[in-house]
Amino acid sequence: MTMSCRERVLGALKRESMDRPPAAIFTTCDTIGMMKACGSSWPEAHSDPQKMATLGCAQADYFGLEAVRAGFCLTQEAEALGCPIDMGTATGSPMLKGHPFNYNPMKKTYQLPEEADLPDIDTFLNTGRVKVTQEAMAIMKKTHGEDYCVIGGNTGPFTLAGHLLNTENLVYSVFTDPDMAKKWVGAIEPYCKAYGEALLAAGADVVQMSEPSASTDILAPEDFTAHSGQFVKRCLGDLKGLKVLHICGDSEKIIPYMFDTGVTGISVEEKVDPYLAIKVANNRGAMIGNVGCSFPLFKGTPQDVADAARRSADAGFNSISAGCGVPIGTPDDNIRALVKAVKDLA
């Protein structure tokens, strides 16, 4: 019996036995080639639900990838919570222009979360691109949901708190005033949970949360659970649906802690050897990844990409994906090579 793309991705997340894993990008994939092909491009696609949906579905329509996904950056929640944003260009992502709250542990200046002018949850969910992405989910569900798994992306609580306070300040406070750091991440947690629930209600099959500031490059593994993991569990792991946690960098030492959050699966970068990642994961959930974004996807050849994809599949990854967000300038032929290599495994 032939499986649809949707059935294959959902089956992979449930770790069902299949003839091959799917080729599905759970992190961002919105390349220049996709934009030209579908007629929807940055920066307009960040703020227009129809354009966002069109670009989000182009990874399936244009490349043959087996899932569709939106939004396209990690600044939409920060903007809705008060961060000034530069919306970027046709080839550049939106960027934070500042951090709205007075929080500098090095100067011993602290603003408590209850003193901050944070919106109520309903206002947050109906503000700017947070609302746009929910509307895009509904469109994608209607146009592609029968055949493809719809993935909604959001931002993790430690990362989002860092956007509001300045990540350097938040990380510094982990060492100097850990209770204050946890108080702020705890204050942001309800927004992350409400947004995940809203994405599911709007039509997403999977919520994929990115928590890059909890990478071992920034936060020590022994600090992960206290300052990120416990909050991720409540705002992602406890959602009534399928959920995937992505953390950048060499996540070998925190893979068990990532699964402690109660997620369906985790997405890891190529900085972790795929065979080692599978060993450390110890069959606790779905493994997604881990074809390198810089190399081979962006800088390598189609053969390099195919070799990396087959290696991740051979190691036992349940879904073959980019290790992180696909660079906007990634050559079309390299993404097609990933898709072909995986589909040829059947």
Contacts of 221 (CB under 8 A, 6+ apart): 253, 254, 257
Convert the pLDDT of each residue in 14-25 to its tens digit: 999 999 999 999
Contacts of 123 (CB under 8 A, 6+ apart): none
pTM of this structure: 0.97
**Per-residue pLDDT at 1:** 61
> Mean pLDDT, consecutive 10-residue segments, the chain of 346 residues?
92 96 97 97 98 98 97 97 96 96 89 93 98 98 98 98 96 95 97 98 98 97 98 98 97 98 98 98 98 98 98 98 97 98 96
**Per-residue pLDDT at 108:** 86
Crossing angle of helices 274-281 and 302-315, rounded to 10°: 20
Convert the pLDDT of each residue in 36-48 to its tens digit: 999 999 999 999 9
**Rounded CA gap, 257 and 246, in Å?**
12
Distances (CA, A) of 120 to 103, 134, 267: 21, 18, 31
